[in-house]
Amino acid sequence: MTIGLLIGVIIGLVLGLTGAGGSVFAVPMLILLLGLPVDQAVGVALGVVSLSALFGSISNWQGKYILWIPALLLGLCGAMLAPVGRQLGTALSANIVLLGFSVLAISIAALMWRQATRSPQQSTVVRANGGSGDEDYIEPICRFNDSSKFNLSASCITALLASGIVVGILSGLFGVGGGFLIVPTLAFVAQVSMRQAVATSLLIITLISGTGFFSFAQKNVLDWQLLSYVCVGGLFGMLAGRLIAHKIVGAQLEKIFALSLIAVTLTTLARQLG
C-alpha cells in the first residue's frame, strides 16, 4: 500500500499547490499505478478529493475568504447532481468514461497553461494556504445585479445554480473536484479576489465530491483499506502544500503540472485502450 500513500501525497500536493484542476490527477494515477478499473478509480478519487478539500476548507475557516451564500447555492446544487453523474458513469462503458475524462483533463491542462501564461500572478494563490488577513478581501458584488451589494437576484441565483449543475455532473461522472470551473465562475459572478474564489471552491468541492463518493459507496464494493491509505497520503500532501506553498508556487510550476497532466492522461489512455 506504499504506492497508495504515494499517490495520495501527490494528489494532495497538486490539489494544494495548483489553482483549478489539481484533483484531476487522481483518476489516471490510480489507473496507471494501481491498475484499478475506471469505475473504481473514479470512486476512490471522489473520496480522497473530498477529504483533502475538507482539510483545506478547515484551514480557511477562520478567515473571511469563504463566500457562504455562493458556496451553499453552487455546492448544494452540485451535490444533488453528483449522484446523477455517477449513475451516468455506470451506464456508460469504461472506455467511453475514460475517453471523456481524457478530453476534460487535457482541456484543464490547457486552461492551466493559459492562466500561467496570461495571468501568472494568479498562480501564487494556492488552495492549501489559509489566510486570515484583509489584504485580499473584496466585498462580493454580483455581476448580474444593479445593486452594489451581493443581493440574490434571479439572474445571480441562476448563474450559480447552472454552474452547480455542470460541476456536479462532471464530478460524479469523472471523479474530479470541479475547481477548474468553480474558481473562474465565482471570480466572474461575485467579482471577488482570486483568494476568495479558491477558498470558497474548496468548500464547494467538499460538498459535491463528498456526495458523489457516498453515492458510489452505497452501490459499489470499495477497497476501504486502499482508500484509507490514499486519503492519509492526500492529507499529508495538502499539509506539505501549505508549508511549502510560498516557496515554490508560480507560473512555471503550474506549466509543469499542466504538461505532467497531459503526459499522465495520454499514457493512461494509451495503455487502457491499447
Average pLDDT over residues 121-144: 61
| pLDDT class of 132 with cuts at 50, 70, 90 | very low
**Count of CB atoms situated within 10 Å of the CB of 32:** 18
Residue range 138-191, pLDDT digits in tens: 777 777 666 656 667 788 888 888 888 998 998 888 888 777 778 878 878 877
Residue range 147-162, pLDDT digits in tens: 656 667 788 888 888 8
Q: Specify the higher pLDDT residue, 37 or 178.
A: 37
The alpha carbon dihedral of 17, 249, 236, 68 has a sign of negative
- N- to C-terminal Cα distance for the chain? 27
Contact between 38 and 1 under an 8 Å Cβ cutoff? The reply is: no
State residue 77's pLDDT score: 93
What's the structural domain count of the chain? 1
| pLDDT class of 99 with cuts at 50, 70, 90 | very high
State residue 80's pLDDT score: 92
Average pLDDT over residues 231-242: 83
Whole-number percent of the chain with pLDDT over 90: 9
Q: Which amino acid is at 5?
A: L
Q: Specify the higher pLDDT residue, 236 or 24.
A: 236
Contact between 213 and 23 under an 8 Å Cβ cutoff? The reply is: no
Length of the chain measured in residues: 274
pTM of the prediction? Answer: 0.81
Measured in whole angstroms, the distance separating CA 138 from the mean position of its chain's CA atoms is: 23
**pLDDT over 70 (residue 131):** no
The span from the CA of 23 to the CA of 53, in Å, is: 9
Contact between 94 and 37 under an 8 Å Cβ cutoff? The reply is: yes
Contact between 60 and 202 under an 8 Å Cβ cutoff? The reply is: yes
In DSSP notation, the chain reads -HHHHHHHHHHHHHHHHSSTTGGGGHHHHHHHHH---HHHHHHHHHHHHHHHHHHHHHHHTTSS---HHHHHHHHHHHHHHHHHHHHHHHHS-HHHHHHHHHHHHHHHHHHHHHHHHH-GGGGG--TT----SSTT------TT-SSSS----HHHHHHHHHHHHHHHHHHHHH----HHHHHHHHHHHS---HHHHHHHHHHHHHHHHHHHHHHHHHHS---HHHHHHHHHHHHHHHHHHHHHHHHH-SHHHHHHHHHHHHHHHHHHHHHHH-
**What is the chain's mean pLDDT, rounded?**
81
| pLDDT class of 245 with cuts at 50, 70, 90 | low
| pLDDT class of 135 with cuts at 50, 70, 90 | low
The parent domain of residue 180 ranges over 2-129+138-273
**pLDDT over 60 (residue 128):** no
**pLDDT over 80 (residue 83):** yes
| pLDDT class of 124 with cuts at 50, 70, 90 | low
